Structure 1
Amino acid sequence: MQRGIRAKLVRGCVALSAVSLIVAVLMAVDPEPAAVMLGITLGSSLSRSQLGHHGRERLQALGLLPLLGMATIGLGMLLQLQFVLGAAVYVLVLVGTVLLRQTGDLGRRFSSLAATSFLAVLFLPGGAGRDHGPVLAVVEPLSIAVFAWLVVTAVQLLAQRLTVLPSPARRPTVETASPTSPPSNSLRPSSTTRSALQLGVGLTLAFVIAAAGFGDHWAWVVLSAVIVAYLPRGRADAVSKGLHRLLGAAAGSVFALLPLATGPGDSTILVIAALSAIGIGLLLREVSYAAWAFGVTVALTLLDRLTGQPSPLIGMRLIEIAIGVTVGLLPVCLLLPVRTTDVVRSRLRPVLAAVAERLAAADPSAQAAAQRRIEADLRELDQAGASLQEAARALAIVRRPPPEGAQWVRNAHTIATAAIDSTPSAGDELSQAVRDARRALRDPAALGSALSVASRLAQR
C-alpha cells in the first residue's frame, strides 16, 4: 500500500472513531434520525476542517459554530414556509460565504465550516429537535454542534499525542499575496469572485429546475449542484467531484434496495445498514469521494423510509442527481473558469517556502518544525491536485503525457522528500533551485522547468 493511501486511511479511521462516539451518544439521548444525521455530518466536516489546527484556530471554529447554527435553522424554516424567498436567501448566503474566502484566514475557515452546515439544510429540512417544540428546535442543533466539536477535538488531540496523527505545523503570522492573484491593473476578477459568480448562477438554475420539475423532491438537484460548485478547487476538481458524486450516488441508490426489501417495519436493519454505509464512506472519503457519496446516499435513502417520507423511484433520484451535477458544472466550466493548475500553483507556494526553511534550518527543533509544515502543506497540495492525478492515470492508459499540474505535484513531493532527508551532496544546489522555483511561481511555463531542475537535483 502506498504511503499516501495509508495516511488517508489513518485519517479516515480517526474521523470514523470521532463520529462513532457522537452517534453512540446521540442514539442514547435522542435517537431521532435528524439529530443523528446532523451529528454525523458535523462530525465528518469538523474531522476534515480541524485537522492540523492549533488551539486558537479550534476555538475560533467553536465560536463560529453557533452563528452557523442559527443561520441554518433560519434558512431551513424559510425554505419550508416561503420557498421562493428561502431559495433566494440561500443563494445569496452561499455566494457571500465564498466571497469571505478572500478576507483572510478567518473568512476561509468560516467558508469551510459553512459548507456542511448549509448542505444539511437541504437533506434535513425539518431540523433536529423540531418535533420537541420551538425551544429545542433551536437549542438541540446548537448543542449537537458544540458536542461534535468537543468529540472531534478530543479524538484528534489524543491521536496526535499517540503519534497516530502528526502534530500541527505552525503557520507564519504574516500572510503574503497569493501567486495566482491578478495584477492590480487586471480587469479579470479574482478566482474567488469567479467561483462566487459560478456558484450563484449554478444554484439559481438548480432551484428553478428543481422546483419546476421535481416538486417536493427538489433538494437532490440543489444538493448535487452545491457539491460540484461550492466545494471543489478549480474546474478539473469540480468535474472529478461531479463524476464521483454521480457514480457513488448510483451505487448507493441501488445498494439501498437491499435493506429496503426487508420491509418498512424492520427499522433496526435500516438503522444498521445506514450507519454501516456512513462508516464506509467516512473511512474511504479521502481515498475516493465516490465512497462518501455512496454512504450518504444509502443513509439518506433509508432515512426517507424511517421517517415515513415519500421516496421517489431510484431512477428518478439518479436523474435528479445527474441534473444537479450538470447544472452545477456548466457555469464552473464555461463561466470564467478557474483552472485547477492555478489552484495547484497557489498551494505550491507554502510547500516551497517550507522546503526552503527546512534546507536552511540548522538546529533540530527548527528542522522538525519545518518538516511538519512541509507535510501539512503537501496534504493541501495533494487535495488541490487530486483531480489532475486522476486525469494523469487516465491519460497513461492511452500513453499520453500527464497534465502539467500533476507533474508539478510529483516534482514537489520529490523535492520535499530530499529536503526532509537533507541530502548533503545536493544541499546548496537544491536550495538555489528551490529559490528559482519560488521566483517562477507567477509564470506557469517557467515554473515547470524550474521544478524539473530542482527535482533532478533532489534525486542525486
Structure 2
Amino acid sequence: MRRPAKSAVGAGRGLALRRGALALLATAIVVGVILAVDPEPAPVMLGISLASSLSRSQFERDARGRVEALVLLPVLGLVTMGLGVLLHDVFWAGAAVYVVALVGATLVRRFGEIGRRISAIAGTPLLAVLFLPAGAGADHGPVLAIVEPLLISVLAWTVVTIVQLPVRVRGSDAQRRRLSTAASPGVAGGAAAHPSAERPGARPPARRLSATTRMAVQVGVAATAAFVVGVAGFGSHWAWVVLSTVIVAYLPRGRADAVSKGVHRFVGAAAGSLVALVPLSVAPGFEPLIVACILTAVGIGILLREVSYAVWAFGVTVALTLLERLGGQPTPLIGMRLVEIGVGVAIGLLAVCVILPIRTTDVVRARLVPVLAAVGTAGRRHSARAREGGTTHHRGAARVLIRRAPPEAVLWASDAHVIAAAAIDGPAPGAGALRRALGDARRALGTPAALGEALRRAARAS
C-alpha cells in the first residue's frame, strides 16, 4: 500500500511548529497585557484560551472571516457568561442550557461555511465556561464582570490578527502552497475549522438522518450523561468529566478522529497531572514558581499543539492543576482527576462510536468535495484564490485520519494531496486528461467503491 511521502510528514511538522510559534507569540502578548491590567487567574486563562484558539481558527481566514469572528466572540462571550452564572447559582438549569447550547452549536453547521465558522468559534467559550464559571472580572463588580471578558475577546482578536497579518502578506503563492499542502494524512489534528461530515448541498438518503443531525444527537446525549455521571460520581469536581466528554464528542468529526482525540486527551492529561506534582512538592507555597510553571506549561502546549493534541492536553492539565492550588485546593487530587478524565473520554467515545455513528470514510469523502471542486476551478481559471482554497480543504480532509485509519481513506487523502499540488504548479488551464479525471472523481464521490480508482487516475494525470 502506498504511503504518504516522508518529506510531506516533515513539512507538515515544520508548518505545525511555525504556526505554533505564531500562536505562542500572540498568546504571550495577550497574557502580558492582561497581567499588567488585572493579574488574576480567570482573565489570564480566558486570554490564553481565546488567543490560542483564534491563532488556529483564523490563520486561513480572509478578511470577512476575521470580521465575523470579531462580531461573534463578544456575543458568544455574553451568552456563556450568563451560562456560567446559571451553572453557579442554579446548576441543573445551567446544565440543561449548556446541553442545548452544544446541540445548537452543532446543528448550525448545516448552514454552510458561515455555520461551520460559528460552530468552531463557539467551542472556545463553551469549553472555557466549564473551568472559569465565575468569569473574568467577576471579583470587580457587575460592570467589569460584563465588560472585561468582552475587552479580552477584542484584545485576543486584535493581537492574533496583527501577529498573523505580516506572515499572510509576505507569503508568496509558493509559500502559501507549502503552508497549505504540507499537512500529513497520517496525523490527526484539532478543530480549527470543522467541515461538516455531509456533502454540501446534498440531500441525505431517505429515512436517514443527516450527519449534522447525528452529530447533534451524539453531543446532546454525551453531554447529558457527563453532567449526570459527573455530579453523581464526583460531586463538585464534575467539570473534568464534562470537559473531557465535550472535547471528544463535540470537537472531532467521525469515529477515528474521536478515538484519536480521546487517546491524546487521556495520555496528555495523565502526564500533566503527574508533572504538576513536581512544583507542588518542591515549593508548594512559592506562588511565583507556580505561576511560572503554569505559563511554561501552557507555552509548551501552544507551541506544539498542532504537532500533537496530547501536548496541549498536557499543558492545560498542568496549568489547571496548579491553578487549583493557587485557588486554595489543599492537595492535588491526581487519582480522582485521572478517573474523571477517563470517564469523560469514555462517555464521549461511546456516544460517537455507538449512537448513530459517522464513518471516517464518509467524513473524508465529504471533505474531498470542496477539494476537487476548488482544484477544478483552478484548472479552468488558474485562480490563486481557488487553488489555495483547494489545498486548505485538503488539509481538512487529511486531519481526520490517524495512523491506523481505513486504508482506502488514507489513499484518497494521499491522491488528493498530489492532485492539489499539481493544480497549483501546473500551467493554465491544465491538461485535458486531468480535467476529465477530475470530473470522473467528482462524480464518483457518492460511490466509495469507484472513488479510489477515479482519484488514482486523476493523480496519475497530474
Fold shared, TM-score > 0.5 on shorter chain: yes
1:339 aligned residue (359, 379, 386): 359
Q: For the structure 1 residues 30 and 446, does the alpha-carbon distance in structure 2 shift closer, same or farther, using more than 3 Å as the test? A: same
Aligned to 1:391: 404
1:269 aligns with 2:289: yes
SS in structure 1 at match of 2:99: helix
| Amino acid across the alignment from 1:120 | A
1:257 aligns with 2:267: no
- Alpha-carbon contact 1:354-1:373 (below 8 Å) kept: yes
Alignment of 1:201-240 (within 5 A): 201-240=221-260
SS in structure 2 at match of 1:179: coil
SS in structure 2 at match of 1:407: helix
1:255-307 Cα offsets, whole Å, 9 max, x none, are 11111112332111111111111111111111111111011001111111112
Q: CA deviation at 1:154?
A: 1.1
Aligned to 1:313: 333
Q: For the structure 1 residues 57 and 263, does the alpha-carbon distance in structure 2 shift closer, same or farther, using more than 3 Å as the test? A: same
SS in structure 2 at match of 1:386: coil
Q: For the structure 1 residues 428 and 448, does the alpha-carbon distance in structure 2 shift closer, same or farther, using more than 3 Å as the test? A: same
Equivalent residues, number: 436
1:404-430 Cα offsets, whole Å, 9 max, x none, are 111110111112222222179x92212
2:395 aligned residue (363, 379, 402): 379
RMSD of Structure 2 on Structure 1 (CA): 2.3
Aligned to 2:140: 132
Alignment of 1:52-131 (within 5 A): 52-131=60-139
**Structure with more contact order per residue of length (Cα contacts < 8 Å, sep ≥ 6):** 2
- Alpha-carbon contact 1:179-1:441 (below 8 Å) kept: no
- Alpha-carbon contact 1:14-1:159 (below 8 Å) kept: no
Gaps of 5+ in 2: 1-6, 181-196
1:279 aligns with 2:294: no
2:176 aligned residue (166, 170, 175): 166
- Alpha-carbon contact 1:22-1:151 (below 8 Å) kept: yes
Aligned to 2:408: 404
- Alpha-carbon contact 1:179-1:349 (below 8 Å) kept: yes
- Alpha-carbon contact 1:182-1:189 (below 8 Å) kept: no
| Amino acid across the alignment from 2:393 | D
Structure 2 Cα separation of the partners of residues 94 and 266 of structure 1: 39
Q: For the structure 1 residues 184 and 244, does the alpha-carbon distance in structure 2 shift closer, same or farther, using more than 3 Å as the test? A: closer
Aligned to 1:396: none
Q: For the structure 1 residues 105 and 156, does the alpha-carbon distance in structure 2 shift closer, same or farther, using more than 3 Å as the test? A: same
Aligned to 1:397: none
Q: For the structure 1 residues 23 and 283, does the alpha-carbon distance in structure 2 shift closer, same or farther, using more than 3 Å as the test? A: same
Q: For the structure 1 residues 97 and 310, does the alpha-carbon distance in structure 2 shift closer, same or farther, using more than 3 Å as the test? A: farther
Aligned to 2:421: 417
- Alpha-carbon contact 2:198-2:210 (below 8 Å) kept: no
Structure 1 Cα separation of the partners of residues 112 and 374 of structure 2: 20
1:12 aligned residue (20, 40, 55): 20
Q: CA deviation at 1:217?
A: 0.6
| Amino acid across the alignment from 1:330 | L
1:248 aligns with 2:268: yes
Structure 2 Cα separation of the partners of residues 341 and 240 of structure 1: 15
Aligned to 2:162: 154
Q: For the structure 1 residues 125 and 282, does the alpha-carbon distance in structure 2 shift closer, same or farther, using more than 3 Å as the test? A: same
- Alpha-carbon contact 1:182-1:188 (below 8 Å) kept: no
- Alpha-carbon contact 2:53-2:124 (below 8 Å) kept: yes
Using structure 2 for the length normalisation, give the TM-score: 0.90
Aligned to 2:441: 437
Q: CA deviation at 1:403?
A: 2.3
Q: Percent identity?
A: 57
| Amino acid across the alignment from 1:375 | T
Structure 2 Cα separation of the partners of residues 185 and 445 of structure 1: 18
Gaps of 5+ in 1: 170-176, 393-401
